[in-house]
Amino acid sequence: MRRIQYLLDEHVDKRLRRALQQLAPALAVRCVGDPDAPALSTPDPDILAWCERYDFLLITNNRRSMPSHLADHLAAQRHIPGILVLNIHDAIGVTASELILIWETCTVDEFEDHIWFLPVSGQR
């Protein structure tokens, strides 16, 4: 079973990482710009390739272009563990709780090759 781990896009508030680490220290969370993650300003297609290679779900605010990047990625016979798009109106604590719930109760297979918009509880 593939455990969920998260890569936070560079435009995601870094307070979300701190909240996730406080709530679930065992959860793997990386941020674009970390030494063991894509560098800052990495193009979105390259971020998707990194997520595929290292098996991370991407957490992003990018509602505009990410769907087309995902379509291109899939058209190239590639795969992605999944993309979760944040609701910018939700508080950090609400978002962190939703992501922890996903981590505790789901597997990567449930999100693979799809974009989900938070909160996911209304989409299942």
Q: What would the pLDDT profile of 84-123 be if each residue is shown by its tens digit?
A: 999 988 999 999 999 999 999 999 999 999 999 998 765 5
Give a yes or no: residue 71 inside a domain. yes
pLDDT at position 124 is 42
pLDDT at position 122 is 56
- Compute the distance between CA of residue 51 and CA of residue 82 in angstroms, rounded to an integer: 9
In sequence order, what DSSP letters do the residues of 36-68 get, joined into one string?
TSPPTT--HHHHHHHHHHHT-EEEE---SSHHH
Give a yes or no: residue 114 inside a domain. yes
pLDDT tens digits, 40-73: 999 999 999 999 999 999 999 998 999 999 999 9
Q: Listing from the earlier edge strand, what are the strands of the sheet with 83-85?
A: 29-31, 6-8, 57-60, 83-85, 115-117
Q: Please say whether the beta carbons of 37 and 31 come within 8 A.
A: yes
pLDDT tens digits, 26-41: 999 999 999 999 999 9
What total of structural domains would you count in the chain? Answer: 1
Give a yes or no: residue 1 inside a domain. no
Closest CA to 8 of 26, 27, 94: 27
pLDDT at position 81 is 96
Q: Please say whether the beta carbons of 108 and 55 come within 8 A.
A: yes
Closest CA to 63 of 38, 44, 46: 44
Domain around 81 = 6-122
Helix axes 15-23, 92-105, angle to 10 degrees: 50
Give a yes or no: residue 38 inside a domain. yes
CATH classification at residue 97: 3.40.50
